[in-house]
Structure 1
Amino acid sequence: VKYFRDESQRLFSMIYKDERTLPVKILQHAESFQELANYWGYPVEEHIVKTKDNYILGVQRIPHGKQPSATFALNPTQQQDPSIETIFKNNGISLSAIRKDPNEIKIKNKANSSESSSQKKKYIKPVVLLYHGLMTCSELWICNVEYENRLACLLADAGYDVWFGNIRGNKYSMKHTKFDPSERQFWEYSMDEMALYDLPDTIDYILEVTGAPSLAYIGFSQGTAQCFAALSINPTLNNKVNLFIALAPATSPKGLRNPVVDALMKSSPNVIYLFFGRKAVLAMALFWQNVLSPPIFTKIIDLALRFLFGWNCKNISETQKAIGYYHLYSYSSTKSLVHWFQIIGSRKFQMFNDSPPYSYTSTSLGYSCQKFPTLQITTPIAIFYGGRDSLGDMNMLLKQIPAPVLVREVLDYEHLAPSLSPLFYVGLFQITCEEKLSNYQNRKFYKVICKLYNQNEELVKHIIAKNVEPVNSLQLNNSQNENVIFNNQDSVMEEFEVTLDEIESSQSNESYEIAKVTKKNNALPCKCKWTDEAIISLLLYMKDHKQDVSKLKCRGATASQVRKPLWIGASAELRDIYTAEQCEIKWKNAKKQYKNREDFKYKSYVEEILN
C-alpha cells in the first residue's frame, strides 16, 4: 500500500505541482475529531451512547470556545438580557429565570428554588446538536479551513454547548454489544433505526448530561431526514428539540444525474446489493483513500460527484477539497442506501420497504409502505438550501411538513455547500436580510439565527425596518403554559423602525474619500458600515478573481474591461448589500491599511491577493 501510494504521488507530481501547505497536510492526516478540534484550539469530550437496540454510538462535545469563560451572553454586565430571554422563550426552553454571571449563564429552576445553597447548583448553556449526512461522520463540522464555515467553532465561541452525533456503523459508532462489524446482522439497519433509536437516545443522553430541558438541532442532508422521521414518529421528542435547522434537507431526492446508473439503482434492491454487498457501503472508497496520493484521490472524488450528481463543486476551494474529502466520508450500511433508493423510486418519504417488488411500477399491488407522518411535527423548522442542489426537491418537502418558520435559498450553491463551501453561512445571513419577514415571530426567529451564527443584528435593522408587515396580535406559548400577548399599538415596531441614517450617526462608520463625481455632482456613497463578515466575504471573492485583480494595474482598455464586471460581481457576491462602488473603495482602502491591521487573517488575505 505504501509503495503504491508513493508511486502514485510521484506520477502525479510529474503532471501537477503539489501545492499543499504544512497545515493542510496536518489537517488532512488528522486521524480523529479530537485531533482536528485540538488543532484549532478547542477542547473535546468523548461520550458513549448505548441505544435501546444495543448499538454503541460515539458522541463528541465541545463544551466551550477557546476561552473557558466564553458565554452565550454578549454583555455580562447586564443583570438580564432580553434578547437571550426572547431566544429561549420563542424556542420553548423552560426557564423560570435567566440571570447573568460573568462566567456562565445560571438557570434557576423553580422546582429547586427551595433547596439549600449548599446543594449543587445547575449551570447550563444553550445546547445544540449537530448531525452529519449519509456516509459521513462528525468530522465534517470541524474540518473546514475557513473559520467562517466551521459552524462548530462559531457556535462554541458564541457560548453554545456544542454536541456532535454519529449514526450507527460509521467511524465512531462501529460497535454492538452482540454483533461484530464483520457479521451481516450488524449492518441490518436503515434510516428507520436511526430515527427510532440513534437520534432519540442521543438527545436523551445529552439532556441528561447537561441538565437542559431541550436543545437546538442542526442537521445536514440525511441528518435532516432522520430528524424529520424521528420527530414524526416520536411526539415527545418534539418537546426536547426547541429548534430544528435543516441544511440541504433531503427527504425526497430526485435521483442520480446519470440516467443509466439511476435506472439501475431504481430497478431493484438486488442491483444495489450486487454492487455493494450486504454489509458496509463505501469500503472501497476508503481503501483507495489510503492507497492513492491525496491530489489524485481528490480528483477522482470530483469526477465521481460530477458523474453521479452533476456537481461541479466550484464553491469549494482546492485546499478545502484536499482536507474535506479525507474527513467527509465514512461507513454506512448498504441497507440504508437501499432505503434511499426506495424513497427516490416511490417519491415518498417512507419507512423501509421490507418486501419490495421487483419493479417500482408495481408497488400498489396489495402492499403499501408506511410513510413518515411528518405533518405531525410541532418543533419549529428552518430550512436553508442551495439553489443548485440537485438532490433536494423543495416543493415536495414543503408539502410533507408543517409550514416552516423560515425557508431560505442560497443561490449558486450545491448540496455539499453547508459542509465545505466558504461563505455559505455569510450568504445565508445576507439572504435573510433581503427577504421580507412576514410577522413578529419570524423577526424574533431571525434574532435566533443571528445569535446562533454570531451575526451582527444592528447591521440588518435598517434593512428589515421597511420590509416587515405589522401584525395586530400574536400569542406565544412557553413551556410553562404562560400566554404572552403582543398587541400592536405601534410599539411592536418601535425597535425595528431604525433608519440607515440613525444607525450611521450612532455607530462609528468608516469614512471613504469620494473617488468620483458625476457630471450632475451626484457623489458616491461616502459612508458605509462594513462588518467583519462582509469584509472577509469581499476578500475571499477577490482571492477567487486574482487574475482580474492583477489586470486592474494595467492601463488602457485591459483595466476598463475588467473593472466594471469585477465590482458588479463583488456586489452580487455580497447580495447587493454593498454597491459596486463601495466594494471598489473598500478594496482600495484595504490595500492601503492592511499592514496596520492586527487581524492576521485579514492581512494574509490581502497579501495573497496582491501577490
Structure 2
Amino acid sequence: MKAVCLIVFLTLARYSAGHIFRRQYYPQDSLIVQPLDYINQAQELYPGQQSQEDSRQNSNERNVKYQQSGRQNQKNRQQQQPEYGQQQEYRQQSEQSRQQPEYRQQNEQYQQPQYRQQNEQYQQPQYRQQGEQSRQNKQKHHQTRQTKQQVQQTHDSTSAESSQETRKIYSEYAMPVYADAGELNTRLYFGQPEMRPAYGDAVAWRGVEIAANANTPVDRQDIQKIFNEAYKTMKHVSQEDKKIFHQAYEQAAKTDNEDAHLNATQLLNKYQYAVDTHTIKTDDGYFLTLFRIQPKEQTLVQRPVVFLMHGLLGSADDWLLMGPGKSLAYLLADAGYEVWLGNARGSKYSRRHVSKHPAQADFWQYSTDEIALHDLPVMIDYVLKTSSQEKLYYVGYSQGTTAFFALAAARPEYNNKIIMMYALSPMAYMSNVRSPLLRMIAPTSAFYERLHEQLGHGEFKPSKELVNTFGGAMCETEIGCRNVCSNINFVMSGVGVENLDVELIPVIMQHLPAGASTRQIKQYAQAVAHNEFTKYDYGAEINQRVYGSAQPPKYNMQKVQTPVALYYSEEDWLAHPSDVERLAKELPNVKDLYKVQHYSNMDFQFSKNAPEMVYNRLIQSIQKQSNQQQNYGY
C-alpha cells in the first residue's frame, strides 16, 4: 500500500513540476500579449457586458491582431534604425527560431482548455474590484501631475518676468562681445562648487554678475564695495577705441612673436647677452634657479652687482620681455653692471624640491614669509659669494619688495649686505588695495568663505569663471578684449591700455602667470583686513603653536635700515599711494619717494615709456651711489 501511495505521489509531483516549467518557458521574443493582461483591460473598459466565452473569443481575435501589429511596428523600427553587431545577429536568430515547428507548438499549447480555465478565474468579482481600484489610483496620479505642471508653469512665468526685468535694469552695462574666445560664465555661484544655485537671481553691477541664494545673500552694495575703487582708476574708452584695441591685439596674436615661446636663457642668447644658469638649494629643500647676465662690455675692473627680484605670479622672464634697450635687465647690462635674476619657489624656474612634487599640495604650503626668510637669504649670499662682492644693489617689483622688507625686518643683518634697495610698486601695507581679487578674498569680505574653499590650498590656479568674477567681466566691459581680460595678472593688477605696446601683450600673456601658491595670495588678502604688515595668519590656534601668540607678529619697518627708493603710482591697483606713503613714513632711511603719473601696476615692467619714466632715474641713482664708493669697494 505504501509503495502505491509513493508512486501516486511521485507522479503528481512530476506532473506539477512539468506544468510549472512549461508555464515559465514562454517565448520572450514573441510580441503576444498574455490573455490575462488583455482581459483585465477589457473588464476595465466594459465591466459586466461580456460573457466569459465572448471574452475568450475577443481575446484570441485581438491577440492575433496585436501580434500582427506588433510585428509590423517592429519591422518599421528596424527599417528606421540601423542595427549593429550583436543586435543584428540577435534579430536574425530570433526570426529563424520563429520558423521552427517546436516554436509553433509552444504557442499553440497556450490555446488549450486548461489555460482558458486559468484565465477565467481572473474574471471573478474580486479581480474586477482590484481593476476598478487601480483605475481610480491612475486617475488621482494624473490629476496630481497636472496640478504640479500648472504650478511649475506659473513659477517659470514669474521667474522669466523677473529675469527680463533685471536684464532691462542693467542692460546699460552689457558687455561687448568679440570673436576672440569661447563664452565665459561671468557669474560666481555661491552654492556647491561648480554648481549653480537652484534659486536666486544674479545681482549685477557694471558688467559683473554674482548670483546669491538664501545661505549667501549679496546685494549691489557688496559688489560696488569690491569693484568701485578699481573701476574709478580705469580709463573708460569708447566703443570705437575698444574695437581698435581688440583688432590690434588680434593682429599681434597672429604674428606669433618668437619671444613668446623662449625662456630666459634663450631670450638672452637671441640678443647676444652672455648668461650663466645657477641652481641653489634653500635650507628647507627647495631648488632655486638664478641667471647671471655679464656686462655687455667686459673689463678687468670689477663691476657692481644688481640683483632683480620679480613680482607676484612672475619670474625672471619679466625683466627681459620688452627686449634690449627697453627692459631693465638689458639696460643695466648695457650700463656695465653684473645683473642677477632671481626666481622664487613655485615660479616656472624653481619647481623642484628634495622630497615634494609640484603636483602635490604640500609643495605649495608656503607664503611670502618663506620666500623672504628662506629664498632671499640663500640667493643674496650665493650672488655675493660667486661675484666676490660684499654688497649689492637690490631692485624688487611687487612681491619682490614685500619679501625684502620682511627679510630686512626679521633678519637685520641683511641690511648690511645691500647698498641700496629700489622698490617698484612697493607692497607692504595693503589696507587700501584696489584689486577686486584681493578685496574679494579678504577675511572681512562677504565672499570670503566660499572663495576660501574654491581656491583651495595648493597652487594658485583659479578657474576661468573665477577669473571672470575677480574682475575679468569688468575688464572686458571697459576695454572690450576678452583674451586680455582672461589673464589673471591683468585681472589682478589692472590693464593700462594707453601705456602698453599692444604687440607685446601676447608675449606677456605667454610668460605670465609663472606660478605662485594660493597661500601667497591669501596673505596679501589678509593684509587688506588686518591693516598691518604681518606674517601669515593661520588662525588663533595654529598661530599660538607657530608664533606663540594668537595673532601673527608684525614686521617692524623701523628695523629696515637699508637706504630705500620708493617708486609708486596714483593708479596702481596693488600698491595704493596711501599705503606707500604710510610705508615711507615708517621706513627710517628713504632716499627717494617718486610718484609716476598715470601708471598701472604692470606698467613698471612693461610700459613702453618705462625707460624714460622709471629706469633712467633708477640707473642714474645706482651710478651716483657707485661713484661714491672708492674703486667699487664696499
Q: TM-score range, shorter-chain basis?
A: 0.5 to 0.7
Amino acid at match of 2:569: G
State the 1:153 CA deviation: 0.5
State the 1:217 CA deviation: 0.5
When normalised by structure 2's length, the TM-score is 0.53
1:300 corresponds to which of 477, 485, 492: 485
Structure 1 partner of 2:138: none
Structure 1 partner of 2:421: 244
1:369 corresponds to which of 545, 552, 555: 552
Structure 2 partner of 1:163: 340
State the 1:161 CA deviation: 0.9
Pairing 1:315–2:499 present? yes
- Find the residue that maps to 1:20 and give its secondary structure: helix
Give the direction of change, closer, same or farther, for the CA distance of 1:155–1:261 in structure 2 (3 Å limit).
Answer: closer
Is the helix fraction higher in 1 or 2?
2
Pairing 1:276–2:425 present? no
State the 1:185 CA deviation: 1.7
Find the aligned partners of 1:480 and 1:104 in 2 and give their Cα distance. 13
- Find the residue that maps to 1:245 and give its secondary structure: strand
Find the aligned partners of 1:125 and 1:481 in 2 and give their Cα distance. 10
Asked if the contact 1:298–1:321 (Cα under 8 Å) also holds between the matched residues in 2, the reply is no
State the 1:38 CA deviation: 1.9
Q: How many residues align?
A: 372
Structure 2 partner of 1:133: 311
1:419-447 Cα distance to aligned partner (Å, 9 max, x none) = 110112312378x6xxxxxxxxxxxx995
Give the direction of change, closer, same or farther, for the CA distance of 1:452–1:390 in structure 2 (3 Å limit).
Answer: farther
2:391 corresponds to which of 210, 214, 232: 214
Amino acid at match of 1:413: Y
1:449-489 Cα distance to aligned partner (Å, 9 max, x none) = 45699xxx9xxxxxxxxxxxxxxxxxx9999999xxxxxxx
- Find the residue that maps to 2:252 and give its secondary structure: coil
Amino acid at match of 1:275: Q
Structure 2 partner of 1:580: none
Amino acid at match of 1:44: V
Give the direction of change, closer, same or farther, for the CA distance of 1:233–1:323 in structure 2 (3 Å limit).
Answer: same
2:300 corresponds to which of 104, 114, 120: 104
Structure with greater Cα Rg: 2
Structure 2 partner of 1:37: 268
Moved more, 251-260 or 51-60: 251-260
Amino acid at match of 1:346: H
1:229 corresponds to which of 383, 406, 419: 406
Find the aligned partners of 1:222 and 1:37 in 2 and give their Cα distance. 24
Structure 1 partner of 2:582: 396
Find the aligned partners of 1:451 and 1:326 in 2 and give their Cα distance. 37
- Find the residue that maps to 2:290 and give its secondary structure: strand
1:573-592 matched pairs, under 5 angstroms = none
1:379-419 Cα distance to aligned partner (Å, 9 max, x none) = 11111112321321222211332130111111111111111
Structure 1 partner of 2:321: 143
Alignment RMSD: 3.8
Find the aligned partners of 2:313 and 2:279 in 1 and give their Cα distance. 20
Asked if the contact 1:191–1:339 (Cα under 8 Å) also holds between the matched residues in 2, the reply is yes
Find the aligned partners of 1:356 and 1:170 in 2 and give their Cα distance. 30
- Find the residue that maps to 1:414 and give its secondary structure: coil
2:279 corresponds to which of 48, 51, 58: 48
- Find the residue that maps to 1:341 and give its secondary structure: helix
Asked if the contact 1:272–1:338 (Cα under 8 Å) also holds between the matched residues in 2, the reply is no
Give the direction of change, closer, same or farther, for the CA distance of 1:307–1:330 in structure 2 (3 Å limit).
Answer: closer
Find the aligned partners of 1:479 and 1:188 in 2 and give their Cα distance. 45
Find the aligned partners of 1:52 and 1:132 in 2 and give their Cα distance. 21
Structure 2 partner of 1:473: none
1:285-311 Cα distance to aligned partner (Å, 9 max, x none) = 7x99xxxxxx97743347x67765554
Asked if the contact 1:281–1:332 (Cα under 8 Å) also holds between the matched residues in 2, the reply is yes
Find the aligned partners of 1:386 and 1:39 in 2 and give their Cα distance. 33
Give the direction of change, closer, same or farther, for the CA distance of 1:390–1:10 in structure 2 (3 Å limit).
Answer: closer
Structure 1 partner of 2:37: none
Structure 2 partner of 1:428: 614
Asked if the contact 1:389–1:415 (Cα under 8 Å) also holds between the matched residues in 2, the reply is yes
Structure 2 residues not aligned, in runs of 5+: 1-178, 184-242, 468-479, 543-548
When normalised by structure 1's length, the TM-score is 0.55
Find the aligned partners of 1:342 and 1:478 in 2 and give their Cα distance. 45
Structure 2 partner of 1:448: 621
Find the aligned partners of 2:541 and 2:631 in 1 and give their Cα distance. 46
Q: What's the % identity of the aligned pairs?
A: 27
- Find the residue that maps to 1:64 and give its secondary structure: coil
Give the direction of change, closer, same or farther, for the CA distance of 1:309–1:163 in structure 2 (3 Å limit).
Answer: closer
Find the aligned partners of 1:198 and 1:10 in 2 and give their Cα distance. 40
Structure 2 partner of 1:383: 566
Amino acid at match of 2:552: C
1:433-582 matched pairs, under 5 angstroms = 447-449=620-622
Amino acid at match of 2:271: W
State the 1:195 CA deviation: 1.0
1:23-50 Cα distance to aligned partner (Å, 9 max, x none) = 85211122x1112222222122111110
- Find the residue that maps to 2:352 and give its secondary structure: coil
Pairing 1:339–2:516 present? no
1:483-527 Cα distance to aligned partner (Å, 9 max, x none) = xxxxxxxxxxxxxxxxxxxxxxxxxxxxxxxxxxxxxxxxxxxxx
Give the direction of change, closer, same or farther, for the CA distance of 1:21–1:182 in structure 2 (3 Å limit).
Answer: closer
Give the direction of change, closer, same or farther, for the CA distance of 1:374–1:310 in structure 2 (3 Å limit).
Answer: same
Asked if the contact 1:258–1:309 (Cα under 8 Å) also holds between the matched residues in 2, the reply is yes
Amino acid at match of 1:408: Y
- Find the residue that maps to 1:332 and give its secondary structure: coil
Find the aligned partners of 2:514 and 2:619 in 1 and give their Cα distance. 34
Asked if the contact 1:250–1:391 (Cα under 8 Å) also holds between the matched residues in 2, the reply is yes
Asked if the contact 1:266–1:345 (Cα under 8 Å) also holds between the matched residues in 2, the reply is yes
1:157-196 matched pairs, under 5 angstroms = 157-196=334-373
Find the aligned partners of 2:293 and 2:482 in 1 and give their Cα distance. 30
Find the aligned partners of 1:215 and 1:245 in 2 and give their Cα distance. 12
State the 1:262 CA deviation: 2.3
Structure 1 partner of 2:119: none
- Find the residue that maps to 1:203 and give its secondary structure: helix
Pairing 1:354–2:538 present? yes
Find the aligned partners of 1:160 and 1:411 in 2 and give their Cα distance. 28
State the 1:271 CA deviation: 4.1
Pairing 1:407–2:617 present? no
Amino acid at match of 2:307: L
Find the aligned partners of 2:402 and 2:372 in 1 and give their Cα distance. 9
Structure 1 partner of 2:22: none
Amino acid at match of 2:292: R
State the 1:322 CA deviation: 1.7
